[in-house]
Amino acid sequence: MFKVGERKIGWHKDFDSSHFLALPYESKCLRIHGHTYNVDVEIWGELNENGMIFDFNHLSNLVKLLDHRILVSEDWIAEREDGSLVIEKNGKRIELPEKEAVVLDKPNVTAEYIAEWFAERVAEKAGDNVRKIRVKIWEDPRSYAEVVLER
């Protein structure tokens, strides 16, 4: 006889965003460029009172927040005024409407930090029933960064 063992949900979605990196060496990634990112999320836990481990709608809302935005580090914000951000990094000074950017509380905007940021936002919505979160961010079909959060 079988019994229910470990429970896990999985979710996959793509989104388009632009970014640039802050690096101490010459790289094409210092320039503003974009990716069609793919995000894979796995969440382990027990069923909550609604019969879910986690609501997929929270994941969809996170992707909507990132889609068609420029991702920047909060460390690069020189000014915030009248709904605009001024970003200064790598010899650039960029002013853009705040609603067109997502400011990550990370020192850079690498795939590793994007994955960490995404996992932390998932954790904020997770109930006590969730015990493990894995987020994998694909920048292209060959390259990904992965982070795991555990209780």
Order of strands, sheet of 33-45, starting from the edge strand that comes earlier in the sequence: 101-104, 69-73, 8-19, 33-45, 130-140, 143-150
Mean pLDDT split into 10-residue runs, the chain, 151 residues: 92 98 97 97 97 97 98 97 94 95 98 98 97 97 97 94
Active-site residue identified among 98, 112, 120, 139: 139
Catalytic residue among 12, 33, 46, 68: 68
Catalytic residue among 29, 42, 58, 120: 29
pTM of the model: 0.95
Going by the DSSP 8-state scheme, the letter that residue 129 receives in this structure is T
Contact 63, 11 (CB under 8 A): no
Contact 127, 48 (CB under 8 A): yes
Quick check: is 33 catalytic?
A: no
Based on the residue annotation, tell me whether 139 is a catalytic residue of this protein. Answer: yes
C-alpha 144/C-alpha 137 separation (Å) is: 5
Q: Give catalytic status of residue 150 as yes or no.
A: no
